[in-house]
A and B are shown apart, each in its own frame.
Chain A
Amino acid sequence: MIITNIETVPGKTIVKHLGMVSGNTVRSKHAGRDIMAGLKNIFGGELKGYTELLTESREEAVARMVKQAEAIGANAVVNVRFSTSSVAAGAAELFAYGTALVVE
């Protein structure tokens, strides 16, 4: 599975367009992390727990998108975009979407 965020796969030709595929995930950290992050709000600096959360959710969203693409017989996903939104305090949604293709 080749994933890119440009319109084509360099060095390969597009055989078939299979339409849009997407994957999303909503995640939150346990309350302890939230309390630590609240403390960090006084001192400033990177919120490692939340960075980890964001990385995990991004991987999960991409994995779901890839699964959907595989299910319809694609071997590449191009023009991938990410979008984030915070649903509630401490929970974040991450949405990944792109175009599924068959390339050669």
Chain B
Amino acid sequence: MYDLILFLILLVLGYVFGQIAEKRHFRSIIQREAELRDVLCFTERNVPEMGRIDSALVCGSVVISIDFFKKFVAGLRNLVGGRVSAYESLLERARREAVLRMKAEAKARGAKSVWNVRLETSSITKDASQGVAAVEVIAFGTAVTPR
């Protein structure tokens, strides 16, 4: 009985705080994306001819935890199959955040564009009892600064 009550409390806490955190994070992402719009990102490998330039590696990384509610919903979803939107929004947040941090580093260097952007994602831990269930994303690319 107490187990069930504890479980429900965790579920409610996870839902309330998780939703607040997610909304706040998305607002912050949208605002910073607008600020960093002048730094262009390309997945193209070859940098076109643009005169004298300096190039340097820039990276951005982020680790985001899932909440108790998302984990529960994803567990239910596993039974019936289909889109696990709880994890989709988590991964989207993590990727956009990593790209933003990479762009911020590029902007700090005075770069106008970032080429060959690559994203590296490591998986969400399946069994949280063995460790912390989280997703980590690294974004990296070559920042090009006109000299």
Contact = CB atoms under 8 A, between A and B. Distances in A.
A46 B53 contact: no
A47 interface: yes
A40 B65 contact: yes
A84 B56 CA distance: 21
Interface residues on B, range: 35 or more
A54 B63 contact: yes
B118 A5 contact: yes
B128 to A, nearest CB: 6
Given A6-B116, A43-B17, A82 B53 contact: no
Q: Is the interface of A mostly helix, strand, loop or mixed?
A: mixed
Interface residues on A, range: 35 or more
Given A11-B53, A42-B14, A44-B21, A82 B140 contact: yes
A90 B21 CA distance: 23
Contact of A37 (B65, B68, B130): B65
A68 interface: no
Nearest to A89: B131
B57 A4 contact: yes
Interface string A20-64: 000000000000001001101111111100110111001000100
Interface of B: 10, 13-14, 17-18, 21-22, 25, 45-47, 51-53, 55-57, 59, 61-71, 97, 115-116, 118, 120, 122, 125, 128, 130-134, 136, 138, 140-142, 144
